[in-house]
Amino acid sequence: MNEQELQALKTQILEACVHKVQERMEEALAAMNRAADAALSEEKSSAGDKYETGRAMGYLERERYAGVLQQARKELSFYQQLKPVSDPQRVEPGVLVAAENLFILLATGIGKMDVACHTVLVVSAASPLGQKLRGLQAGAGFMLNDRSIRILSLV
């Protein structure tokens, strides 16, 4: 792929990441609302301790999804504040690594995605792979699943 095609792919990947994070936010919000409704509903109501336990479990579930929502908001903020790196020399957050048959975006821990018929790993800088890649330059090699992979270019 030439530089222009890689830039276009990176834009598509970033858009897909934002979409994925927004979906996660919507799902967490819906789950929070369901948990809150369940905690307040009469269906969980019964005599004594069972009722209080059911309510407490509903509120705990709501708080768990609130944490998921908060994390998704942080990730969305990361993408919104991401500054384009023109001609990156090293792998850093926001840089797309074009390797042999693989693309890796150092961003947030979304995981494996298919974008424009390409396999993309979206990993955080804190992940083992992110730590391994951080600071590498084009032409450098690294190990992934017992395979030696060479970085072809950085975008």
- 8, HSE (Cβ side, Cα atoms, 13 Å): 7
What DSSP character marks residue 62? H
Q: Average pLDDT for residues 7-11, to the nearest whole number? A: 95
For 24, 44, 121, the CA distances from 39, given in Å and listed in that order, are 22, 7, 38
Beta bridge partners of 96: 105
Q: What is the Cα gyration radius of the chain?
A: 21
Question: Going by C-beta distance under 8 Å and a sequence separation of 6 or more, which residues neighbour residue 146?
Answer: none
Our measurement of the distance from residue 103's CA atom to the centroid of its chain's CA atoms, rounded to an integer in Å, reads 15
Q: Give the CA angle between residues 133, 96, 5 to the nearest 5°.
A: 150
- 31, HSE (Cβ side, Cα atoms, 13 Å): 16
pLDDT of residue 47: 54
Q: Measured between alpha carbons, how far is 114 from 12 in angstroms, rounded to an integer?
A: 11
Average pLDDT, the chain: 90
Predicted TM-score (pTM) of this structure? 0.84
Express each pLDDT in 69-98 by its tens digit: 999 999 999 999 998 878 899 999 999 999
pLDDT of residue 102: 92
Beta bridge partners of 98: 103, 153
